[in-house]
Homo-oligomer: A and B are copies of this chain.
């Protein structure tokens, strides 16, 4: 089958075949762990990576599976493929897989803003996954994903009118190199008196700051991604554009500042959300405490608010510090945490793949 499958004409598969492309990376590793934890709906799970990783054996569902090299033949008989590879690799290989009839769920930025590729968060816009003219479904950026489930639940009730967002992004958002950079820098600054005179941390760390433009230990760095027009970073525009697309509000005002912080994993965000209608904290609490994929953890008097140290390794979007603006009864302030490798990447990709599998089996 070389044409792109659409839902009505797709064959029914009792146990569809899944491929994981980029199985050896930081997100790929979490994908395999999630596949081992979730209900086992898949037939074969094929692991695909770059030729230099071919032959390596990885464990999924308790079994060792040998990694095969990325090639057109690797997609033979694959119903659904989850891609976590660099943008340019995805841009080349996702259409090749799709042309062989594979539904591609892609975690790169290559297709997210393509009008013929849906951008899906199962808790927010699951219906969008069914309309995929190119046979490709895109998974949002990890920063967008770390907040959008909570924001989407509030939007469904109150109707969003504006978002102002600041991020506190973990180093693993920049991959294993980001984690290694922070770990190495922490060894250099721990047990010292550094962090009190201009440039002392920089001198201790030296010129090799890893994937970050400045030292990240004992520091925060207001930069993520590449430079776009008018001083914006690519990461900031991703959060803006992807939020608009997921929420189906192409004209939503969204202002974002992305800042890297010395946390290993779990992105945090402050969200100032203005709605069409008046809001109350009580009603926001009700919505957030029943929204799928959200944990409300909001009782500061009892020391309850989410932090990355609590949230890392968990699936939901955690929300705390819910306050109504003192000046505007239509605005809420939130503090949101999400594991950027799980919900921010591997988990959401797996959830989309599971949506597609249910559709292919004809039972959704």
Q: Give A contacts to B, CB under 8 Å.
A: 162, 164, 166, 168, 183, 186-187, 189-191, 194-202, 213-215, 218-223, 227, 230-233, 240, 253-255, 257, 259, 261-265, 268, 270, 272, 281, 298, 300-301, 303, 305-314, 320-328, 331, 333, 335
Given contacts A200-B309, A213-B303, 12 further A-B contacts (CB under 8 A): A164-B164, A168-B168, A168-B261, A186-B190, A189-B190, A196-B265, A199-B309, A218-B262, A221-B305, A222-B307, A254-B327, A259-B268
Let me know if A333 and B261 touch, CB within 8 A: no
Contacts of A259 in B (CB 8 A): 168, 268, 270, 335
Query: How many subunits of this chain does the assembly comprise?
Result: 2
Known: A261-B168, A270-B259, A321-B257. A305 touches B198 (CB 8 A): no
Contacts of A272 in B (CB 8 A): 164, 255, 272
Let me know if A323 and B281 touch, CB within 8 A: no
Complex: A255 Cα to B162 Cα, angstroms: 14
Let me know if B263 and A166 touch, CB within 8 A: no
CB distance from A221 to the nearest CB of B (A): 6
CB distance from A252 to the nearest CB of B (A): 8
Known: A195-B263, A300-B227. A168 touches B331 (CB 8 A): no
**Which residue of A309, A320, A324, A333 has the most chain B CB atoms within 10 A of its CB atom?**
A309
20 contacts between A and B (CB under 8 A): A164-B164, A164-B272, A166-B166, A166-B270, A190-B191, A195-B265, A195-B312, A198-B314, A214-B309, A214-B310, A215-B307, A219-B308, A220-B268, A221-B307, A222-B268, A222-B306, A231-B321, A255-B331, A259-B270, A262-B262
